[in-house]
């Protein structure tokens, strides 16, 4: 799965990589957590003939997908990920898979290795050669009973590649730059036409760096959470399943 990630590129770097224009300034984000706003790149209106403007646009969405037909979010699970193998079959995601595919700019993601009753070891997983990566995403507008609308989104996952499987059995789907146009083209490319893109990244694409448990707290948002540490598997005193953190009001979209 993908429960935390990071976006450290500058607006100018992201504009160049994703062929965007006029991206608003934003600071580096080292610890992006569920329910916080995340940047997505989606297909926009086709520019007129002779225009040099891109048909892509940036969209800020709440990380936590809500299908448009949901009425009561209090009893609906927080869906930050969608399994790429079954998304087209699931009522929650099948419409977005057909009409609202997106790219999620990132610099890498975090994952935790859990071994029995031992303390989970966090890893910062980033492209081995640095730079920006694009996760496959889905987005969906959702409106409450009062008519207030918000865009929501999820990251698609697939089986982990052989180099990351020792940490977790899932990883985000990575879309290569050469495939951006095909992935975003929901007019002519049905889900079956882009199924080949939803595969694990090459084994040597990412490197996994053990980091401290500072990343567990969404309030820790500085570069120190990505510093390498010696791997540890100390026993937990009270094993417990971690609950997704609630971000502060400044970072809430919903």
pLDDT for 19 beyond 50? yes
- What's the pLDDT tens digit per position in 204-252? 999 999 999 999 999 999 999 999 999 865 433 333 444 444 444 334 3
68 vs 48: CA distance, rounded Å: 31
Q: What is the pTM of this model?
A: 0.90
pLDDT (0 to 100) of residue 249: 39
Starting at the edge strand found earlier in the chain, the sheet holding 29-32 runs 29-32, 4-7, 108-113, 121-127, 206-211
- Dist CA 185 CA 44 (whole Å): 10
Reported confidence tier of residue 45, pLDDT bands at 50, 70, 90: confident
pLDDT above 60: residue 176: yes
**Alpha carbons 216 and 46: distance in angstroms, whole number:** 42
pLDDT at residue 141 tops 70: yes
3-class state of residue 46 by DSSP: coil
2 is catalytic: yes
Q: Greater confidence, 121 or 50?
A: 121
Q: Which of 22, 111, 149, 162 is catalytic?
A: 111
- How confident is the model at residue 54, as a pLDDT? 83
The rounded mean pLDDT for the chain is: 90
Comparing 96-100, 117-121, 192-196, 235-239, the range with the smallest average pLDDT is 235-239
State pLDDT tens for residues 110-122.
Answer: 999 998 878 899 9
Of 29-38, 82-91, 233-242, the range with the lowest mean pLDDT is: 233-242
Options 2, 85, 186, 235, the catalytic residue? 2
33-42, 44-53, 55-64 — which is least confidently predicted? 44-53
Q: Which residue has the higher pLDDT, 69 or 53?
A: 69
Question: Is residue 111 among the annotated active site residues?
Answer: yes
Could you tell me which CATH number the domain at 4-226 has?
3.90.1680.10
Residue 94, C-beta contacts closer than 8 angstroms, at least 6 positions apart? 87, 88
* Cα(46)–Cα(104) distance, integer angstroms: 21
Phi, psi of 40 (to 5 degrees): -125, 155
Q: What is the pLDDT of residue 232?
A: 66
Instruction: Give yes or no for residue 166 having a pLDDT over 90.
Output: yes
pLDDT > 70: percent of the chain: 91
């Amino acid at each position: 799965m993908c429960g935390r990630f990071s976006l450290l590129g500058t607006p100018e770097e992201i504009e160049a990589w994703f062929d965007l224009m006029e991206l608003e300034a934003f600071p580096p984000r080292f610890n992006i957590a569920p329910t916080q706003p995340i940047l997505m790149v989606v297909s926009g209106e086709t520019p007129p003939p002779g225009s040099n403007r891109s048909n892509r646009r940036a969209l800020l969405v709440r990380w936590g997908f809500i299908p448009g037909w949901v009425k009561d979010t209090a009893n609906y699970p927080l869906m930050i990920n969608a399994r790429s193998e079954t998304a087209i079959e699931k009522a929650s995601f099948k419409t977005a898979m057909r009409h609202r595919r997106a790219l999620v700019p990132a610099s890498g993601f975090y994952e935790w290795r859990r071994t029995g009753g031992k303390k989970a070891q966090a890893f910062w997983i980033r492209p081995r050669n640095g730079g920006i990566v694009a996760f496959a995403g889905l987005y969906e507008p959702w409106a409450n009973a009062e008519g207030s609308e918000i865009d929501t989104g999820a990251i698609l996952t697939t089986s982990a590649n052989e180099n990351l499987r020792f940490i977790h059995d899932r990883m985000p789907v990575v879309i290569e730059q050469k495939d951006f146009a095909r992935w975003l083209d929901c007019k002519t490319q049905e889900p079956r036409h882009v199924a080949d893109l939803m595969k694990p990244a090459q084994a040597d694409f990412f490197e996994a760096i053990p980091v401290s448990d500072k990343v567990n707290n969404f309030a820790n948002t500085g570069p120190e959470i990505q510093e390498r540490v010696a791997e540890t598997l100390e026993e937990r005193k009270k094993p417990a399943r971690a609950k997704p953190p609630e971000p502060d009001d400044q970072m809430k979209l919903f």
